[in-house]
Amino acid sequence: MSAPMKVGVVVITMGNRPDELRALLDSVAKQDGDRAEVVVVGNGSPVPDVPDAVRTLELPENLGIPGGRNVGIEAFGPGGRDVDILLFLDDDGLLARHDTAELCREAFAADPELGIISFRIADPETGETQRRHVPRLRASDPMRSSRVTTFLGGANAVRTRVFAEVGGLPDAFFYAHEETDLAWRALDAGWMIDYRSDMVLYHPTTAPSRHAVYHRMVARNRVWLARRNLPAPLVPVYLGVWLLLTLLRRPSRPALRAWFGGFREGWTTPCGPRRPMRWRTVWRLTRLGRPPVI
């Protein structure tokens, strides 16, 4: 019998939610099976008091979400190779069950093609899951698990072999769409992604637009995402669809101004290396219910 898969946990924090962070770490410590090694990254801030068994890293500046998580990955060796699975959890989240780490081990052991698992995010008071937290177009039933084409950044598990094959998260994105960039590269390399409704992270219901940079980053990074990953004929289609959807949502004038500013920035600034996915990956995304034009 092979040894159980080793699990590591990466949490990034701005140091402004010490009580929530401690509760999250307590929920990790209560996981069944072998103890998971935990690294907390202070993203441009000191790390609050944590249990002695938790490693901490304090960065002199805020590297953004993907940059901070990449530092956490490397804390487990190049590409996270010292462990088999890495869980990425928001610092104000809480694992709802004690068997989440064990369920991850079982899922990855049972399916050698499985590269990423997206957890279900639920409000701790109501138990409800927002539609935007179900990573597929048919999001009306959050209790239905399925194969998907992207995942939730602060509530997921990644087989570390994925990082070894396709690299980490795109540092320059700072915030927004970094998960989809990694997901598309992983799918192009032959990995699969599952949404699992039974793996739950409690997280307070919030609006993503609470972040001041939301509209600019969302627009800029969507352009970068397309420029980096899509076959050339699909780039204008994908971005045209998202431009139309944005206008249909009728954002406020300041929000729309920020969005168009980010859209221009996405075209006029370097997006990083371009590695367009293969057309068979486009077909795979389509069969999974989300063609890469929306």
The residue ranges of every structural domain in the chain are 7-206, 209-276
100-123: pLDDT as tens digits: 999 999 999 999 999 999 999 999
Which fold does the domain 7-206 belong to in CATH? Spore Coat Polysaccharide Biosynthesis Protein SpsA; Chain A (3.90.550)
Using DSSP, state whether 146 is helix, strand or coil: strand
**Residue 261 in this model has a pLDDT that exceeds 70:** yes
The first and second tokens of residue 46, run together, are 């000191």
Q: Measuring CA to CA, which residue among 184, 158, 173, 164 is closest to residue 276?
A: 184
230-258: pLDDT as tens digits: 999 999 999 999 999 999 999 999 999 99
State how far the Cα of 18 lies from the Cα of 118, in Å rounded to an integer: 25
The first and second tokens of residue 163, run together, are 């990082």
**What is the model's pLDDT at position 1?**
61
Burial of 216 (0-12, 13-18, 19+ CB in 10 A): buried
Assess contact for 11 and 91: CB atoms under 8 A. Answer: yes
**Residue 206 in this model has a pLDDT that exceeds 80:** no
**Residue 285 in this model has a pLDDT that exceeds 80:** yes
174-203: pLDDT as tens digits: 999 999 999 999 999 999 999 999 999 999
**Residue 294 in this model has a pLDDT that exceeds 90:** no
**What is the model's pLDDT at position 2?**
76
- The conformational region for residue 145 under phi > 0 = left, psi -120 to 50 = alpha, else beta, is beta
DSSP-derived secondary structure for 1-17: -PPPPPEEEEEEE-SS-
**Residue 143 in this model has a pLDDT that exceeds 60:** yes
**Residue 170 in this model has a pLDDT that exceeds 60:** yes
Residue carrying the six token digits 């064990």: 102
**Residue 210 in this model has a pLDDT that exceeds 60:** no
% of residues, the chain, pLDDT over 90: 95
On whether the pTM is more than 0.75, the answer is yes
pLDDT band at 205 (very low <50, low <70, confident <90, very high): confident
- The conformational region for residue 129 under phi > 0 = left, psi -120 to 50 = alpha, else beta, is beta
- The conformational region for residue 201 under phi > 0 = left, psi -120 to 50 = alpha, else beta, is beta
